[in-house]
Every structure is written in C-alpha cells, then in structure tokens.
Amino acid sequence: MRQRARYCLAGSPTCWWKRAAKAERDIAETAAWALLARHWRGVEVRELLGERDLSHAQAAAILGQRLGLSDLEYRQLEPGEAVDGLIGAGFAPDLAAAYVELARSINAELIRSLQGRNATNTPPTRFEDFAEALAQAYRAM
C-alpha cells in the first residue's frame, strides 16, 4: 500500500508537521532586539517557532472556531491536488509546483528547526490570538 504524503498549501497556517504559529509582532520584536543588541557580525539565522507546536488538526480547529466554521478540518492533499488548487487560486504553474515542493520538503523534515525550541525562539503570541487577528482581517474583506 502506498503511503500518502502530507501536503498542504504552503503559507497556510497548517503547513508544518508540528505547526508553530508566528505573529508579525513576534518577528518585529525579535528583529528589533537583534538590531539593538549588536552582539553579532555577518549573517545570523534566527528561528521563531511560535508559542507551542500544534498538529494540523489542532490548528484547523482553532482557525475554524475563530472563523465561525465549526466543521473546518485539515485535509491532506496529494501533490497534484495541491498544485491544481494553487493554480485554481491564481498561482502560476511553476510557482504552484515550487510551493508544493516546499511543503514536501517541510513534511519530510528536510526543512526544519535546527535550534530546537528554547527561550529565545519561543515568542509569547498564542496561535489563538493569531487566528483571531486573521479572522478579523478575513471578515473585513
């Protein structure tokens, strides 16, 4: 029996195998801290993992609750389905294929955190708060 790969639309809130949500404020505060600290030289990668790890199902349930879609659930897509969905949403075919390849690499853990969770890469913004802000923006559209 062929094992199904885990795919989702890259950039969506449920793309990571153990998804960690990030908020703009967390990114801005980390960038400001690094710029003010000035204790580094050259290039330094800073990972932000979000307040906690979430499964796809947990993230979908939280988003559904905030969007008023109680039946929202995570659905795993085959690569072709994901590409077709992105193209249907207006993506160029090459970009859609690249996004699906990115998702495949993340799900295969070829792209993953190299630092692991620690105090400096675990910002305070909860996924529930991120989801509420996303829901407000969605309702305003």
pLDDT at residue 13 is higher than 80: no
43-78 per-position pLDDT tens digit: 878 888 888 999 889 999 999 999 999 999 999 899
Cβ atoms of residues 15 and 100 within 8 Å: no
Rounded distance between C-alpha atoms, residue 104 and residue 7, angstroms: 6
Cβ atoms of residues 111 and 16 within 8 Å: no
93-137 per-position pLDDT tens digit: 999 999 999 999 988 989 989 999 998 889 888 999 989 988 998
The tally of CA atoms less than 13 A away on the side-chain side of residue 28 is 4
Q: Look at residue 27 in the predicted model and tell me its pLDDT.
A: 80
Rounded distance between C-alpha atoms, residue 36 and residue 43, angstroms: 15
